[in-house]
Structure 1
Amino acid sequence: MKNILNKIEYNSPVVLTFSLLATAIFFIDKIIPLDIINSLFVYRGGFSLISLIQMILWPLGHASIDHLLGNITLILLIGPMLEEKYSSKTILILIIITTVVIGFFQAIIFGSGILGASGIVFMMIMLTSFTNMKDGKIPLTFIFIAILFLAKEIYNGLFVTNNISELGHILGALVGMGYIYIVQKNKKKQII
């Protein structure tokens, strides 16, 4: 047993810590009836001290087990590869930027509450599409995934009534694309 435990590696600290926190928060909220998700992990706008804390923590809260598993499964599938390619620090910064950008626009445009890591998932999906980029060329897989995901979110935002922040998904994707654009622009400057 000790040999097996010695072989287990905490291989992706940002992704694993995020996923473990989100999972723990969800189950603690279900086991102990304190309504901590609604109290601390939903951002509804505003700039009080509690609102600012919620503006950073809201991606860790999830409304249902399906919501949690959908987001965390994708984060655990693609996040470690991204963390290895771009570094733990970069992924953490991108998660924070995605969180703040989505929270800010959600509060200004809709004024409604937001929770869940879907925007972070979309940011990671966009980053994943560029992991095999060579010589500054845009992968066709990126174009295809961007069109599919963004078209779905725009369609749902315009024609489907639900409690999902399609804007959050789109903004998360834009953060991922923005990062890739900045990285590629800096690579071109280094070549010149």
Structure 2
Amino acid sequence: MKKKLKITYNAPVTLTFAILCALILFMNYFLHGTLIPAVFTAPGRIGSEGGFNYKSALDYIRLFSHVLGHTDWNHLLGNLSFILLLGPLMEERYGSKMVSLMFVVTAFVTGVINVCLIPHLLLGASGIVFMLIILASIVTLDKNVIPLSFIFVVAIFLGRELINGPKSENIATIAHIAGGLCGSMFGFMVAPKTKKTAKKEEKTNQEQKNESFWERRRRMLNENDNNSPRFKNTSKEDDSTVVGTLEI
């Protein structure tokens, strides 16, 4: 009997993040481009036009929410191509809860750096992308090997940032490079899930899910045998009575 193919939500943090980014950009077009500038951009340097206002509660939220906003579909797809590739791998290694914390910390760090140094608004998930790239490259240091492919990826991403950065005031290269520093910090400070624990959890869940008919049948027979009179122990007094009595 062939098994049915199933679509699994294998990386909840990464997939949810990607879906939210796409929905926000889609809604922004319906609202004539007013949603993202108002809610999903980090404020600029204090004192500049559109700078951080410490009296505004929304400005504190924007220190985190700016990673969900993008200038256009090209900007979004460029970031998601890296996030959807590296995010699931990091969730498998560190766990979804830890990866979600990494996303939040990186968003906050890049937002604060923008408020302190950059006089323009900031938006986009490039900081998270660079964090994932550096984090994924540090993972291989356990084997004392640095793949050349990751060096190329870092070079291409940095090159794109340096080329496209000056063209858009809303994409701050310095703040995005800070995401790479966050990835370095996470790589050296956060311990991955142990292989034994992960394998044990996977094995337990699989055994509970895939218990066969014959295994259930065997368990039921064992329970019935244990309750059968043949296996009931009698007391010494009962044994002596049976031996000394003859029934005709």
- Name the TM-score, length of structure 1 as normaliser: 0.81
Provide the C-alpha distance between the structure 1 equivalents of 2:157 and 2:7, rounded to a whole number of angstroms. 37
Give the match for residue 20 of structure 2.
Answer: 21
**Farther-moved stretch of structure 1 (42-51 vs 68-77):** 42-51
Provide the C-alpha distance between the structure 1 equivalents of 2:157 and 2:79, rounded to a whole number of angstroms. 17
Unmatched 5+ stretches in structure 1: 185-192
Provide the C-alpha distance between the structure 2 equivalents of 1:66 and 1:154, rounded to a whole number of angstroms. 14
Alpha-carbon RMSD across the aligned residues, in angstroms, is 2.7
Shift of 1:142: 8.6
SS of residue in 2 equivalent to 1:111: coil
Summarize the Cα distance change of 1:154–1:120 in structure 2 as closer, same or farther, 3 Å threshold.
Answer: closer
Give the match for residue 52 of structure 1.
Answer: 60
> After superposition, where does 1:116-131 map in structure 2 within 5 Å?
116-131=124-139
Give the structure with the higher percent helix: 1
Provide the C-alpha distance between the structure 2 equivalents of 1:23 and 1:150, rounded to a whole number of angstroms. 21
SS of residue in 2 equivalent to 1:161: helix
Provide the C-alpha distance between the structure 1 equivalents of 2:33 and 2:154, rounded to a whole number of angstroms. 41
The answer to whether 1:8 aligns with 2:19 is: no
Unmatched 5+ stretches in structure 2: 44-51, 192-248
Shift of 1:145: 5.2
Shift of 1:181: 2.0
List per-residue Cα deviations over 1:21-75 (Å, max 9, x = no partner). Answer: 0000000111233611111001113332010111111100000110011011211
Shift of 1:161: 2.9
> After superposition, where does 1:57-72 map in structure 2 within 5 Å?
57-72=65-80
List per-residue Cα deviations over 1:65-90 (Å, max 9, x = no partner). Answer: 10011011211111111111111111
Shift of 1:168: 1.9
> After superposition, where does 1:167-186 map in structure 2 within 5 Å?
167-183=174-190
Amino acid at match of 1:128: A
- Name the TM-score, length of structure 2 as normaliser: 0.64
SS of residue in 2 equivalent to 1:7: coil
Q: Is the 8 A contact 2:139 2:187 kept in 1?
A: no
% identity of equivalent residues? 31
Amino acid at match of 2:36: I
Query: Over alpha carbons, which structure has the higher Rg?
Result: 2
Give the match for residue 167 of structure 2.
Answer: 162
List per-residue Cα deviations over 1:151-181 (Å, max 9, x = no partner). Answer: 6489659xx7332311122100010011112
**Farther-moved stretch of structure 1 (147-156 vs 115-124):** 147-156
